[in-house]
Amino acid sequence: MANEVVYTGQLTDSEFLVLLKACHDARMFSGALVLTEQFPRHVIKRREQQDLLFFSDASFPVPWNDANVTPWHTYLSGRIFTEQWELRWTRQPEGIRVVYLGSTEHSGTLRDCKLNACINDKGEPPVPADRQVKSYYLFGKRLSLNDAKKIGAKRGDFAEARIPRLLRYPAANWSEQDADKALKMPYMQLRVLEYMDKAGCVVLSRFQCLSTIEEQQVEEEQHESI
């Protein structure tokens, strides 16, 4: 895997929007996913629960060009990611903390938008060479077509008893001709690239992509773990 870099910065709302627009114009969002979360400080109504987490395709349409799109860029925290890189942010009292980890390809865009390259004592990016890819199951099981109709859910929605809202994952929705296949692949996994120090401890990580898992695969994994 090619060398990777870390860029960080503390941005204002307007500077953060400039960064996102520049990344979009540079076609960084092509094939990217966006995951954002809200943490309200007030009691929310039931109809607002669905909007606390937003997980979708980041490429188009973008919220600053379309008022009908969920304004995910205003959420408290979030990350945009592909297999090559991840851009994450957290809103803090002093500004928006932004961290980029991944390919060197977009360094120019990041520097132009007030992000600074991180280097270690050797003048190198602090990205360990030892890496491993892990896959983690996401909450929920895909609803059958009949169950989705009964509760007014969308095709491809997931549900988890302990979570009081539907779960929607970008790669979970299938076209009409793939309906049968969807019913046979009820679980989702998130692939994460983890960076380890010399002691084998994970010191950095970034999301990469989603994948669907069949019921049979889950059963086989459970059997192997016994």
pLDDT for the residue 182: 52
pLDDT for the residue 173: 45
Rounded alpha-carbon distances, angstroms, from residue 138 to 95, 120, 135: 30, 34, 10
pLDDT for the residue 226: 33
pLDDT for the residue 89: 97
At residue 105, φ and ψ (nearest 5 deg) are -55, -35
- In DSSP terms, 189 is beta-bridged to 137, 211
Cis bond before residue 71 (omega within 30° of 0): no
Per-residue pLDDT of the chain (226 residues; tens, 9 = 90+): 458 999 999 999 999 999 999 999 999 999 899 999 987 776 667 666 667 789 988 987 888 988 888 899 999 999 999 999 999 999 999 999 999 999 999 999 999 999 999 998 888 889 999 999 999 999 999 888 889 899 888 888 899 988 888 898 885 444 444 555 655 678 989 999 999 999 999 999 999 998 887 765 655 565 444 3
